[in-house]
Structure 1
Amino acid sequence: MSTPNTQMNGQSQDVAEQRRKELEQLFPGIFTETRNDKGELKITIDLERLKAELGEFTDIYDNRRERYGMDWPGKRDCLRLIQQPSTATLKPCRDESVDFDTTENLFIEGDNLEVLKLLQKSYYGKVKMIYIDPPYNTGKEFIYPDNFSESLDTYLQYAGLKDSEGRTFSTNTANEGRFHTKWLNMMYPRLYLARNLLREDGVIFISIDDNEVENLRRMCDEIFGEENQIACLVWEKGRKNDAKLFSVGHEYMLVYAKSSSILKEKNIVWREEKPGAKEIWEQYLLLRELRGGNDEAIESELQAWFAELPKSHPSKKWSRYKRIDKNGPWRDRDISWPGGGGPEYDVIHPVTKKPCVVPESGWRFANPDEMQRQIEAGLVQFRDDHTKPPFRKTHLRPISEELEDDSEDSGDDEGLATQVRGSCIYKQSQVAVKYLKGLMGAKLFNNPKDHVEIRRLIKYVCGEEGIVLDFFSGSGTTGESVAELAIKDSSDLKYILVQLPEPNSEKEKTGKAALKAGYSTIADISKDRLRKVYSGLEDEHGRREKQENKWGFKVLKLMKSNFKLWQAPTKDISDEELLQQMELNVDHIDPNASQEDLLYELLIKAGVMPTETLEQIELTGHKVFSVAEGTLLVHLEDDIDQALIDAVLAQAPSQFICLDKAFHGNDQLKTNAVKTFQAFNQGKEKIDQIDFKTV
């Protein structure tokens, strides 16, 4: 008998090992291989690297033994940049949005490094899948800041929001000595921050070509953990006959899990329907509606439907699913042990009451109990008598993956009507080019990703729910993919797209076409693409009130904070200079900022999703924003009184935020407000307390 603090083997839990596992989940990059004095390899914790990840920087690359890992010039600055919080905000843009008030999708315009920092509080551990197609390191320019200390300022200069003097953008030509370094410095902090946003069962897909695939793999091994690599997919996009030696027509897609052990622990299996299976199921449902419980009639009419299909129809291949029972179309399968040498035991025929003939290879199921379980589930079909073995039923849609598991059937492509995907994707790149040209009316991108293939991947990994993030969204392929799945399949999928407002260039043919069509930036193209997609979906599927949150997207743009930040004075500042600095911060709110601008900045910095429900209510004559059905109350008017404080207490939100200037310097009123909330919170559980803040 075990005690509460022991495991079944009689030993207490290894606390140190448990802590190592927890540490590895949080900081996979700190575990490294070292070689001791005897030359033996050992996995150790890099304590200097752990300190760096916690913001305590030492000279982590000097005065220590050589270790296995990936280093490059600027890596330490990447770690510093990750630790530096963002002072920016996201400004709501109603005029550029679709269904601003109801949608749960986001389109964020701005530098994705700053945006990823801003999303850390509200989306930490909430994203199911990330797909990115980052700039490939081809020797051409890519427009991302190369100054680690001025990321936001550089972006704002680039976006035309500040004086352009001193703009520092990273060009990355092949003849520069830092060709790989600059690309790694751009990618590392973004991937590091992106990992934080993934759920425990989350997954990231990264498209890449030959130039950086090896560096990207090593970087991901460090950030996500080598043990969390799932696959390296190959996307074959076509052949170019003008190649001198080989036509390199493929790209790669690295796939990493947040935690492969969690995927295993939750028994997560990815499958997709084989082409044609969906149509059969839809025909079955139609016949079931027409014929009710008459399985024989449904069976007869389904077989007639199969016979009438043209040979090219994808459902024709599955015509063996022509039998019907209460669980839908099924086909017969062999009930013998794969490869021979299976168990032998009596299986009694239900009519003759005699043992059925045992298959030459033995029964498929290891023991009589499992065989009986299959029989009781209706998955064994007996013959007319006992002189022949029965056979198994395999349904088009299994009643249970456990009961109808065909994982041991190798080489048989006529198993269950779902399949695991292979590691190769075959799709001509020109298919996506032609599709996007048709949608937008001109060729605006040379190499857009294929939304049909991305849609398949998203459905394969996410199933029916989850948030999908793309922080190099480009033409908006990921957004279209999620929108179609959410509306056509009625799934609960949402997206967050992030795109730099990169100007379209007159020097490029596609850029010239975009400017002619009225798109000044790539972000403008992406937003208009999504508008056209929703317009098409509306024409095809109509608008359904219950699906309002699945339509449209909310545009937010990266901007400087609406609040002046207090700059800590230097040691040599004079009293007069300090007084001037304090006076500048008395009125610390941008006078041009609207209440909605302030509200969204407060939501983001309070860790509230900007897609939460918002409602403007009235309390004792004051307008108050109610967020997430009253969980958060925000008062942004210039006056406040005790009556409002009492009304807020009656609402009992989790948090109440108001402007400090609303007290108009009345220290007594402010002190009373603080004490009122303290008195309310006294003796209450933490979850029932109200967090009172002024800004």
Structure 2
Amino acid sequence: MNKAAMNLVTLQDGESANIVNENIEQLKSIFPEVFGEGGINFETLRQLLGDAGVIDEGEEKYGLNWHGKKKARQIALSPSTGTLLPCPEESVDWDTTKNLFVEGDNLEVLKLLQRSYTGKVKMIYIDPPYNTGNEFIYPDKFQDNLDTYLKYTGQIDDQGFKLSSNTEASGRKHTNWLSMMYPRLKISQALLRVDGVIFISIGNDEHANLKKVCDEIFGEENFIASFSRMMKSGGAKGKFFTPNIDYILAYAKNVNELDGFRSEIPQEQIKTYYNKIEVSGARKGESYGEERLYKASLDARPNQRYWIQCPDGSFVIPPGNSFPSKVSEGEKIIPNSDDGVWKWTYTTYKDELDKGNIVFKETSTSALVDERNNQSKYNIYNKLWLTDQQEKGKVPSDFIGKYENRQSSAELKELGIPFDFAKPVNLIRYLLEIARTKGDDIILDFFSGSCSTAHAVFQQNAYDSQHRRCISVQLPELTPDGSEARKLGFANIADIGKERIRRSAKKIVIENPGYVGDFGFKAFKLASSSIKAWVPNRDDLEETLLSHQEHLIEGRTEQDVLYELLIKRGIDLAVPVESKIVSGKNIYSIGYGALFVCLDESIAHGDVEMIAQGILKWHEELSPSSQTHVFFRDSAFIDDVTKTNMAAILEQNGITHVRSL
């Protein structure tokens, strides 16, 4: 077999990224000497890492453990054999939008998204089941795999498969919930950008457990905060306290790479604090507030206890027990713990004074003392310019009291969407703001419910003229028989989410006529792979070979196969897909020439030259920055010679990655 024929290999694995294999390859590249015929030599690895406490094999160690944790970890590492089928008929602006909505089990979907989106997501927000015992649904035979999902959605025979609530009576309430959450969080950590952040809403029932799991997955050093949120005010339920708050856990991918959180300065604060107007100088007409130069709360820091001269010639200093021996402007000492200090060093103070940013005010309540250790008649302030402070933003509080659940009820009622317990849009907008998302940052929500997050992304984009992208993932959990949702025609929660995106987009467009943005979404549904798995029947190998002459599942469209190629090749699902007719065959270009695909069912010997030259000409026009891969339907070639000639022509012209399906 010549080189060209050898390069035209068949892709039949149909799997998502295999994290275990990738981890082994990375380890092999760092420590090749630990690999031998028998596998990994852990004793050699121990020696290379050093024996000083690097490997902990003891049974008594700090952390959270439960029965099934090992399996949950393995589930996170196992690849998915599924695919995402495109649904243009359920989408909005299919050809142009960069937003995604995926209907399916979020674990399988996250696995499928890994190759395309690892290290690319700026912010994740999820509102998972709080596990209070009546809303967390899981399979009786706990299996996190594609078969479980296909049974749940009726795509394969369920053989008595059923679901039940995760109650205390099962004896595994926390275990089941942790085993469900662990692999999903593990994969989400890999999806985050180096400066990414995840926010997780949670209630009291699992707050402590979730914190321990996140410490392990994201690292304790990347814990940012546990926000308390006022979910409702008033009420009289509860035996000991009325439950009015829930929590939001925040973790960074790498806290050292993440900018500090900042929020906008509230309008009420601007009105009450930044209420002075500059009357002269370079900043005439600008608004500012005033802040005291001395505060009793300041720590006693070196170089910040010194004399300042006032307009009447007197010298002042914060109260304390020690003073500079010489009373003169800028004369300083090293303070002790009982001494007050200014907020700045003298150099900074002098610079601000020269800029006209220092204000001396006469008062009878000054805390400052003069050179005779008597109460001064002056207080000293510095000007805080509104425009400067707005650019810096405000450091947010770890208590959120503004966004109660009743706001969400009003939002859904206005849209005519039947759904309970959604998070308010403004809460998620607030998280988008403090995390400093901008531009075309990707925002992911894999427990999307009614799609509050997508709604929030649309609103925030219209507000600040950005173009954030949103990926929503939701299980098609059936709506209850006789429910308001079912009466309105919503068969499952995924349908509710898609309709909310459509209705909220229309409303935002009307309210923001000046903003031209992306208010669409590409819809996909989780399904089994379009590529047949190789499952030989050892009792009838001839029949096996005959049945696998066609490697693609019957009934799948060209578009189904195209998007599976995007998923398996790690290409963004929002990239452009173009097509041209060459020699009567439909040729697709994906991602500006990253992939070329021909899925025609028949390629004769006479077609080869024209198809190859058509691809080569298009490839030259697009001039892709990365290596190009070309795919054909394996069964389309009339014979092996035709297949070999196609690979040879493309290879001779620089395209060496030719594959068949």
Q: TM-score category by the smaller chain?
A: 0.7 to 0.9
Confirm or deny that 1:552 pairs with 2:520.
yes
User: Does the C-alpha gap of structure 1 residues 605 and 493 become closer, same or farther in structure 2, counting only changes over 3 Å?
Assistant: same
The residue matched to 1:44 in structure 2 has which SS?
Answer: coil
Residue in 2 aligned with 1:408?
none
The residue matched to 1:253 in structure 2 has which SS?
Answer: strand
Q: Alignment partner for residue 428 of structure 1, among 400, 404, 417?
A: 404
Q: Alignment partner for residue 110 of structure 1, among 97, 104, 107?
A: 104
Instruction: Write the deviation string for residues 661-682 of structure 1: whole angstroms up to 9, x where unpaired.
Output: 365242223223334444444x
Once the two structures are TM-superposed, the CA of residue 123 in structure 1 deviates from its matched residue by 0.4
Residue in 2 aligned with 1:540?
511
Matches within 5 A, 1:336-375: 336=293, 338=295, 342=304, 344=306, 360-361=317-318, 365-368=344-347, 370=348
Instruction: Write the deviation string for residues 193-230 of structure 1: whole angstroms up to 9, x where unpaired.
Output: 11110111111111111111111111111111122111
Give the whole-Å Cα distance in 2 for the aligned partners of 1:212 and 1:399.
38
Once the two structures are TM-superposed, the CA of residue 399 in structure 1 deviates from its matched residue by 8.0
Residue in 2 aligned with 1:624?
587
User: Does the C-alpha gap of structure 1 residues 337 and 676 become closer, same or farther in structure 2, counting only changes over 3 Å?
Assistant: farther
Give the whole-Å Cα distance in 1 for the aligned partners of 2:181 and 2:558.
35
Once the two structures are TM-superposed, the CA of residue 235 in structure 1 deviates from its matched residue by 1.4
User: Does the C-alpha gap of structure 1 residues 463 and 135 become closer, same or farther in structure 2, counting only changes over 3 Å?
Assistant: same
Matches within 5 A, 1:672-687: 672-681=645-654
Confirm or deny that 1:96 pairs with 2:86.
no
- The answer to whether the 8 Å contact 1:614/1:628 transfers is yes
Q: Alignment partner for residue 563 of structure 1, among 523, 526, 531?
A: 531
Confirm or deny that 1:521 pairs with 2:457.
no
Q: Is there any run of 5+ residues in structure 1 with no aligned partner, and where?
A: 1-18, 24-41, 48-63, 277-312, 402-415, 682-688
Once the two structures are TM-superposed, the CA of residue 45 in structure 1 deviates from its matched residue by 3.5
Give the whole-Å Cα distance in 1 for the aligned partners of 2:349 and 2:541.
84
The residue matched to 1:167 in structure 2 has which SS?
Answer: coil
User: Does the C-alpha gap of structure 1 residues 359 and 125 become closer, same or farther in structure 2, counting only changes over 3 Å?
Assistant: farther
Confirm or deny that 1:612 pairs with 2:575.
yes
Give the whole-Å Cα distance in 2 for the aligned partners of 1:327 and 1:616.
60
User: Does the C-alpha gap of structure 1 residues 72 and 381 become closer, same or farther in structure 2, counting only changes over 3 Å?
Assistant: closer
Confirm or deny that 1:592 pairs with 2:569.
no
Instruction: Write the deviation string for residues 132-167 of structure 1: whole angstroms up to 9, x where unpaired.
Output: 111121222533345565621121121122223242
The residue matched to 1:418 in structure 2 has which SS?
Answer: coil
**How well do the aligned residues superpose, as a CA RMSD in angstroms?**
3.3
Once the two structures are TM-superposed, the CA of residue 98 in structure 1 deviates from its matched residue by 1.3
Amino acid at match of 2:609: Q
Residue in 2 aligned with 1:394?
384
Residue in 2 aligned with 1:657?
630
Once the two structures are TM-superposed, the CA of residue 439 in structure 1 deviates from its matched residue by 1.9
Aligned length: 557
Q: Alignment partner for residue 179 of structure 1, among 156, 169, 173?
A: 173
Confirm or deny that 1:44 pairs with 2:12.
no
- The answer to whether the 8 Å contact 1:663/1:669 transfers is no
Give the whole-Å Cα distance in 1 for the aligned partners of 2:160 and 2:513.
50
Give the whole-Å Cα distance in 1 for the aligned partners of 2:138 and 2:286.
55
Give the whole-Å Cα distance in 2 for the aligned partners of 1:172 and 1:559.
26
More divergent stretch after superposition (529-538 vs 113-122): 529-538
Instruction: Write the deviation string for residues 164-201 of structure 1: whole angstroms up to 9, x where unpaired.
Output: 32425454221112121111111111111111101111
Amino acid at match of 1:270: F
Instruction: Write the deviation string for residues 465-507 of structure 1: whole angstroms up to 9, x where unpaired.
Output: 321111111111111111101123211211111001111112x
Confirm or deny that 1:138 pairs with 2:125.
no
Confirm or deny that 1:452 pairs with 2:419.
no
Amino acid at match of 2:580: I
Give the whole-Å Cα distance in 1 for the aligned partners of 2:631 and 2:398.
54
- The answer to whether the 8 Å contact 2:83/2:527 transfers is yes
Confirm or deny that 1:477 pairs with 2:471.
no
Residue in 2 aligned with 1:121?
115
The residue matched to 1:251 in structure 2 has which SS?
Answer: strand
Amino acid at match of 1:669: T
More divergent stretch after superposition (243-252 vs 515-524): 243-252
User: Does the C-alpha gap of structure 1 residues 379 and 215 become closer, same or farther in structure 2, counting only changes over 3 Å?
Assistant: farther
- The answer to whether the 8 Å contact 1:88/1:559 transfers is yes
Matches within 5 A, 1:25-104: 44-46=54-56, 64-104=58-98
Confirm or deny that 1:499 pairs with 2:478.
no
Amino acid at match of 2:446: F
Amino acid at match of 2:660: T
Q: Is there any run of 5+ residues in structure 2 with no aligned partner, and where?
A: 1-26, 32-51, 319-329, 331-341, 362-376
- The answer to whether the 8 Å contact 1:467/1:496 transfers is yes
The residue matched to 1:551 in structure 2 has which SS?
Answer: coil
Give the whole-Å Cα distance in 2 for the aligned partners of 1:150 and 1:243.
35
- The answer to whether the 8 Å contact 2:104/2:476 transfers is yes
Residue in 2 aligned with 1:437?
413
The residue matched to 2:63 in structure 1 has which SS?
Answer: coil
Once the two structures are TM-superposed, the CA of residue 391 in structure 1 deviates from its matched residue by 6.1
Matches within 5 A, 1:105-504: 105-140=99-134, 142-145=136-139, 147=141, 151-169=145-163, 171-237=165-231, 238-263=233-258, 268-276=259-267, 315-323=270-278, 325=282, 329-331=286-288, 333=290, 336=293, 338=295, 342=304, 344=306, 360-361=317-318, 365-368=344-347, 370=348, 378=355, 380=357, 392-398=382-388, 418-440=394-416, 444-465=418-439, 466-504=441-479
User: Does the C-alpha gap of structure 1 residues 532 and 314 become closer, same or farther in structure 2, counting only changes over 3 Å?
Assistant: farther
Give the whole-Å Cα distance in 1 for the aligned partners of 2:92 and 2:240.
49
The residue matched to 1:492 in structure 2 has which SS?
Answer: coil
Once the two structures are TM-superposed, the CA of residue 360 in structure 1 deviates from its matched residue by 3.1
Give the whole-Å Cα distance in 1 for the aligned partners of 2:353 and 2:657.
59
Amino acid at match of 2:399: S
Give the whole-Å Cα distance in 2 for the aligned partners of 1:390 and 1:176.
66
The residue matched to 2:156 in structure 1 has which SS?
Answer: coil
The residue matched to 1:233 in structure 2 has which SS?
Answer: strand
The residue matched to 1:235 in structure 2 has which SS?
Answer: strand
- The answer to whether the 8 Å contact 1:114/1:151 transfers is yes
Give the whole-Å Cα distance in 2 for the aligned partners of 1:417 and 1:218.
31
- The answer to whether the 8 Å contact 2:86/2:559 transfers is yes
Residue in 1 aligned with 2:659?
693
Amino acid at match of 1:68: Y
Confirm or deny that 1:669 pairs with 2:642.
yes
Identity %: 36
Residue in 1 aligned with 2:611?
644
Once the two structures are TM-superposed, the CA of residue 456 in structure 1 deviates from its matched residue by 0.8
Once the two structures are TM-superposed, the CA of residue 615 in structure 1 deviates from its matched residue by 2.0
The residue matched to 1:624 in structure 2 has which SS?
Answer: strand
The normalised TM-score by structure 2 is: 0.76
User: Does the C-alpha gap of structure 1 residues 372 and 678 become closer, same or farther in structure 2, counting only changes over 3 Å?
Assistant: farther
- The answer to whether the 8 Å contact 1:451/1:481 transfers is yes
Q: Alignment partner for residue 581 of structure 1, among 524, 537, 544?
A: 544
Instruction: Write the deviation string for residues 420-456 of structure 1: whole angstroms up to 9, x where unpaired.
Output: 3333435432232233123216xx2332211111111
More divergent stretch after superposition (582-591 vs 97-106): 582-591
Instruction: Write the deviation string for residues 330-384 of structure 1: whole angstroms up to 9, x where unpaired.
Output: 325458455587355899x9xxxx999765346754253x4576578x5736899
Give the whole-Å Cα distance in 2 for the aligned partners of 1:249 and 1:610.
41
Residue in 1 aligned with 2:23?
none
- The answer to whether the 8 Å contact 1:346/1:356 transfers is no
User: Does the C-alpha gap of structure 1 residues 554 and 659 become closer, same or farther in structure 2, counting only changes over 3 Å?
Assistant: same
Once the two structures are TM-superposed, the CA of residue 606 in structure 1 deviates from its matched residue by 0.9
The normalised TM-score by structure 1 is: 0.73
